Amino acid sequence: MPTPAIKVLALASNVRRRCYRITCYSSRGITNNVANEEVISKPLQSARPFKEIPGPTSFPLIGTLLNYLPVLGKYDFDRLHRNGMLKLQEFGPLVREEIVPGTNIVWVFTPQDIETVFRCEGRYPFRRSHLAVDKYRKDRPDLYNSGGLLPTNGDKWYELRSTFQKALSRPQNIRLYVQGSDHILQQFMDVIKSRGNLSTEDFVPYLSHVFLELVGLVAFDAELEGLTEAGLQPDSLASQLIDAAETANGCIVALDNSLQLWRWIETPLYKKLKRSHEIMERVAVTLVNRKKSLIESQRLTENKQPSLLEIYLSDPKISVKDIVGMAVDMILAGMDTTSFSSSFALYHLATNPNCQKALQQECRELLPTRESPVTLEVLDKAQYTRAVIKESLRLNPVSVGVGRILPEDVILSGYHVPKGTNIVTQNQVACRLSEHFPNPNSFIPERWIKSSSLFQKPHPFLLLPFGHGPRSCIARRLAEQNMHMLFLKIFRNYDVKWCGGTLDCRSLPNKPDQPLLLSFKSVDY
């Protein structure tokens, strides 16, 4: 598993760029903006020097690592959101830190500065991540054309992203999965019922199994049987896939930010990643090729809307190798984020009974019986359900923020920040400030409902749980749809109570810092 220090450096080193800018500066002056974007003119010379940005004292050889020592230090690598709040309170809305000597990280807290960062990303979003995955796949040209969407950059990334996003961006293609997803979620209700008392058992693994099934429905047009009695066992294929994804994600962060000896020799950690990736790869290759053979033997009927996998496999411009890579990426990125996000939302509802009652009322209105399916019409009307998920993501997003390295100089809070600087937005901290949200630490879904007296439109760059711009989560629509459906099903069928202590998160990504202990009581109405 990656060390906490490596996790912070990984967040800071993720690099993305965009195709429009507002307050970016170069040696030639202010960078031109794309049409209709007003440039805020402010001479670079008038900005305060980069070295004057306040922050923790950095010492030779050890940087600010003393602040992160267990017991003695005031910061904790596993609690990035707490670190951020402390730094904001001590140093203000822009903080410069050298955790490792010579490597500056700028922590950005105001939504105005966060917007500027995103507007100054450059022509193509660029990120430095999943480097070992990139090597692994490029070493296997018989299976892959590239490293896939996660590590690839530049024109090749844009080509891949455009290829897959074209179909994913069409709402009708996402809504196609509602019926199949409802079937899977009904199985999940049966699992909860059959388990009886879950109050002493961590519920997160169950969420991982249901989201694996939902990912499999899209990636492979297949059920992976992860919700059967056999599929829930530790040695099942579904459990192996979940473990493989979790292990691989842990290895990726460490391999990206270590001495990269794995580029020349297979280090123990690289071998661990390799074994995990091979598990996911074997399943992806088998199921994608099975579907390909089915399409070739049975032509798609004209009156049937094709699935995403059928669209990709039927397009002669899309290589099966790229589809396999995309399928593996969906397993890698499609379970942890939704499982953890759903965990926090369940916690907030279980500890806020009035909000749970409001959600249950909506569920009863939209789903007359406990077995009623979640349909497109139901999803369109599920206003409070959407507000619940949005409010939970405000309090507990997937990550504390987003890392960027900008290709141009920029002015943030009046300070000159040179190009090439590691910048990390602090959206999670900003979303917990009273200047942006009244009662910021309270779970209030009504603040997102326009007809509510509590509604207040926040700055658009505060809540960014899926990232921002062309390199934001490609499967955002699917993730939101799945979570909305899950909560409609659960709270139509059950009263949920919290059986643990105060839940917080550990980084990176944000996950519950203790077992998710919930009790489920079947409703009679």
24 labeled part of a ligand binding site: no
Are the C-beta atoms of 427 and 117 separated by less than 8 Å? no
Say how far apart CA 36 and CA 235 lie, in whole Å: 57
> What does the radius of gyration of the chain's CA atoms come to, in whole angstroms?
23
Q: What are the angstrom distances between the C-alpha of 246 and each of 243, 272, 331, 353, 483?
A: 5, 11, 10, 32, 20
The pair of three-digit structure tokens given for residue 358, joined into one six-digit string:
């409001």
State the DSSP code for 470: G
The pair of three-digit structure tokens given for residue 386, joined into one six-digit string:
């959407």
Q: How many CB atoms lie within 10 A of CB 162?
A: 10
Q: What are phi and psi of 36, to 5 degrees?
A: 70, 10
Cross-strand bridge partners of residue 495: 521
**Contact partners, residue 185, CB within 8 Å, separation at least 6:** 210, 374, 485, 486, 489
Q: What angle do CA 299, 305, 309 make, to 5 degrees?
A: 70
- Strands of 409-412's sheet, edge to edge? 29-30, 24-26, 409-412, 415-417
Q: What angle do CA 207, 211, 214 make, to 5 degrees?
A: 150
Q: What are phi and psi of 84, to 5 degrees?
A: -60, -45
Ramachandran sector of residue 498 (left: φ over 0; alpha: ψ -120 to 50; beta: rest):
beta
Say how far apart CA 356 and CA 348 lie, in whole Å: 9
Are the C-beta atoms of 406 and 421 separated by less than 8 Å? yes
Cross-strand bridge partners of residue 505: 512
**Contact partners, residue 298, CB within 8 Å, separation at least 6:** none
- Would you list which residues are annotated within the binding site for heme? 473
Annotated binding residues, written as ranges, equal: 473
